[in-house]
A = this chain, B = another copy of it.
Amino acid sequence: MKWTDLDENWCPVARTLSLVGDRWTLLVLRDCFLGMSRFDQFVSSTGATRHLISDRLKRLVEAGIIEKQAYSERPKRYEYVLTEKGQEFAPALMAFRDWGKKHLPVRRTSKA
């Protein structure tokens, strides 16, 4: 079974996962909430490959979660911003954040 097959699932959690259920997509969304909007920002912030970021941004745009907007005409340059539908994803990311803060503290591995 491939992941897009979940999009017609009876369960709203499964349908949501068919869209955003992979780590890079969710990291891109996190970055959007942190105020990032440009391709290279997503690449360096997430550590994902340019290929993946390109793919995930396309899916998110197609799903209406973010929008592609030109911020420069010559040369043509675009940025990505959350739509209202995307904004409403905030509670999910906050739940992830809270769980991570509580249950996965960073181990400081060196130099005090």
Contact = CB atoms under 8 A, between A and B. Distances in A.
Interface of A: 1, 3, 5-8, 10-19, 21-23, 26-27, 30, 47-48, 85, 88-89, 91-104, 106-107, 109
Number of copies: 2
A22 B21 contact: yes
Contact of A14 (B11, B18, B19, B30): B30
B23 A96 contact: no
A23 to B, nearest CB: 3
A interface: dominant SS:
helix
A85 B103 contact: yes
A62 to B, nearest CB: 13
A13 B1 contact: no
